[in-house]
């Protein structure tokens, strides 16, 4: 084999756009822990673009749904189909920002370097990524000393560093001040506008209103409703969503 | 036989004058125990890492064995190594008995399980925290282990220090396989054990003082590693 053969082949492979992950189709998705059924036969489809806000009371299975969709766990039964792609290959084309970010015990910059390196991305993008989330001035600080909002922005930058086609966010702004919430929403909206598919779990009605293209409302392990944003906020179809919005939903 | 006061005075003199014999004993002790610690880390750390992130059948049994081996009595280790290295033993042809190498082997066997068990604990705790994030990032096993070891480096350093502390203070194993031969295998602990009974209290006391200082130094090092880690928010 000549010296140039291999790199050229790899380049060509990278240049060919992979078949898209979207649309997503979920059929009879069920998750049980022993006797308890946490997710009970979910059926829904997500179109190729936009931001889906996943809502529902505590314990309704939102976090577990994200982990199932991201391939971090296997369902008890049912099917998750990402554009017909091999389930094994799906996780790597997505990223998940956890509610409590798990940051490496390294500097802010090293947290990004780690992902760029292990995922074989261009190391030169680090400064641009940090700049994008407003952390350039903290690059050399230990990541573990960041404030909640900064830590979450770093987690977001790390997720973006993997160039995901789908970005999952699990209550990323749950305990942040309004400025940090706004900063994160701006970055996510920007990613959405560049074509990244967003699945965003939130409890914050205002946030859902600001971000949503459609709303998936979970209640008691089932989908209470899945509607376009403008319909959902005008007049939710389901009683549970209506009660939730009025603060009257009893779990 | 000297009085305690006399012996203590002589001991301080020995230390202060940098007595040749004393220095030789101390240096051999350090060489043996540092080498044993290094080898024990090379063996124990990978095993600890493997058990920490591995999910294999029989893992529970491995854990029990690892933890039990942590408490190996030094004399038993010495005896077993002796049986292997003695002229009639399976490794007798190597001619290693009563050499510093034999002492390094014995101490390595003694502390490798300690390094393995403690680093397993450290890495497993960190892995519990990182595992889900790492799976989301689709890291390979090797990348996972490398990242865990690097992020746990301060804790792992204290594990190494704990191993060294145990090795340098141990007498049972090295006395059996080393034999406390003057200018050849005499280390601090064996010298203290045997010179005391021969009545050379000054040398024993001087070595005892140095051993104490080393023990304090190891503890100070552990403390400073912890503080450095805290300063860099590695807690
Ligand atoms: N490993 C587990 N074993 C048993 N039950 C679990 C486990 N993980 C989560 N659950 C339960 O599943 C339900 C849904 O959890 P989760 O998806 O975290 O809810 P949320 O919508 O608040 O994110 C909760 O009642 C939770 O207690
Ligand atoms: Mg949750």
Domains and CATH numbers, chain A: 39-75+85-246 (3.40.50.300)
Q: Are A180 and A214 in contact (CB under 8 A)?
A: no
Q: How many domains does chain B have?
A: 1
Asked if A121 reaches chain B (Cβ–Cβ under 8 Å), the answer is no
Chain B residue set in contact with A, beta carbons under 8 Å: 129-130, 132-133, 135-139, 143, 147, 151, 232-235
Ion ligand 2 nearby residues (CB, 5 A): A 63
A142: chain B residues, CB-CB within 8 Å: 232-234
Task: Measure the CA–CA gap between A58 and A79, rounded to whole angstroms.
Answer: 24
Asked if A128 reaches chain B (Cβ–Cβ under 8 Å), the answer is no
Give the least confident one: A57-71, A74-88, A108-122, B219-233.
B219-233
CATH number for the domain spanning B46: value is 1.10.3720.10
Q: Per residue in A180-227, pLDDT tens?
A: 999 999 999 999 999 999 999 999 999 999 999 999 999 999 999 999
The ipTM of this complex is 0.88
Range of the domain at B136: 2-234
CA B148, B151, B157, B162 torsion: positive or negative? negative
Q: Are B117 and B68 in contact (CB under 8 A)?
A: no
Residue of B nearest to A160 (CA): B137
Q: What is the pLDDT of residue A2?
A: 43
Q: Per residue in B148-186, pLDDT tens?
A: 999 999 999 999 999 999 999 999 999 999 999 999 999
Distance (angstroms) between ligand 1 centre and the Cα of B134 equals: 21
Q: How far is CA A14 from CA A7, A93, A103, A197, B137, in A?
A: 10, 13, 29, 21, 19
CB contact under 8 A, B136 and A104: no
**DSSP-derived secondary structure letter, A247:** T
Q: Are A221 and A61 in contact (CB under 8 A)?
A: yes
Residue of A nearest to B233 (CA): A144
- Measured in angstroms, the CA of A140 and the nearest CA of chain B are apart by 11
Task: Measure the CA–CA gap between A184 and A240, rounded to whole angstroms.
Answer: 28
Task: Measure the CA–CA gap between A121 and A246, rounded to whole angstroms.
Answer: 46
Average pLDDT of span B31-41: 98
Q: How far is CA B122 from CA A211, A220, A231, B216, in A?
A: 41, 38, 52, 23
Strands of the sheet containing A51-55, edge to edge, are A94-97, A166-170, A197-201, A51-55, A214-219, A222-228
B133: chain A residues, CB-CB within 8 Å: 98, 102
Q: Per residue in A131-140, pLDDT tens?
A: 999 999 999 9
Q: What is the pLDDT of residue B197?
A: 87
């Amino acid at each position: 084999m000549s010296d140039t053969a291999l790199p050229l082949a790899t380049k060509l492979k990278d240049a060919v756009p992979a078949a898209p992950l979207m649309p997503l189709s979920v059929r009879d998705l069920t998750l049980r822990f022993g006797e308890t059924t946490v997710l009970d036969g979910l059926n829904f489809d997500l179109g190729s673009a936009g931001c889906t806000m996943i809502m529902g009371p505590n314990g309704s299975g939102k976090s577990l749904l994200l982990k199932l969709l991201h391939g971090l766990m296997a369902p008890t039964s049912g099917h998750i189909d990402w554009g017909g792609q091999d389930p094994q290959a799906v996780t790597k084309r997505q990223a998940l920002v956890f509610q409590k970010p798990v940051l490496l015990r390294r500097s802010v910059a090293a947290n990004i370097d780690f992902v760029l390196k292990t995922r074989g991305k261009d190391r030169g993008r680090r400064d641009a990524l940090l700049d994008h989330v407003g952390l350039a001035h903290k690059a050399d600080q230990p990541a573990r000393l960041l404030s909640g909002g900064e830590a979450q922005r770093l987690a977001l930058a790390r997720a973006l560093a993997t160039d995901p086609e789908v970005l999952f966010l699990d209550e990323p702004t749950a305990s942040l001040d309004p400025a940090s919430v706004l900063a994160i929403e701006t970055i996510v909206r920007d990613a959405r506008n560049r074509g990244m598919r967003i699945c965003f779990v939130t409890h914050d009605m205002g946030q859902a209103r600001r971000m949503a293209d459609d709303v998936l409302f979970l209640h008691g392990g089932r989908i209470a409703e899945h509607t376009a944003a403008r319909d959902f906020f005008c007049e939710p179809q389901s009683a549970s969503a209506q009660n939730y919005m009025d603060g009257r939903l009893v779990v | 036989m000297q009085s305690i006061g006399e012996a203590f005075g002589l001991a301080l003199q020995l230390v202060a004058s940098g007595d040749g014999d004393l220095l030789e004993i101390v240096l051999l002790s350090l060489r043996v125990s540092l080498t044993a610690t290094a080898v024990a880390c090379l063996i124990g750390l990978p095993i600890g890492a493997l058990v920490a992130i591995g999910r294999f059948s029989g893992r529970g049994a491995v854990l029990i064995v690892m933890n039990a081996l942590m408490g190996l009595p030094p004399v038993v280790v010495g005896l077993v190594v002796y049986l292997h290295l003695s002229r009639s033993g399976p490794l007798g042809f190597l001619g290693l008995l009563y050499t510093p190498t034999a002492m390094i082997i014995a101490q390595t066997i003694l502390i490798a399980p300690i390094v393995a068990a403690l680093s397993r604990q450290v890495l497993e705790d960190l892995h519990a925290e990182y595992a889900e994030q790492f799976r989301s990032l689709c890291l390979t096993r090797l990348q996972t282990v490398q990242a865990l070891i690097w992020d746990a480096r301060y804790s792992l350093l204290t594990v190494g220090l704990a191993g060294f502390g145990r090795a340098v203070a141990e007498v049972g194993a090295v006395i059996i396989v080393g034999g406390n031969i003057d200018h050849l295998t005499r280390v601090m602990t064996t010298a203290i054990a045997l010179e005391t009974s021969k009545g050379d209290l000054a040398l024993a006391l001087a070595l005892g003082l140095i051993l104490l200082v080393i023990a304090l130094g190891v503890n100070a090092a552990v403390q400073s590693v912890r503080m450095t880690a805290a300063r860099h928010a590695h807690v």
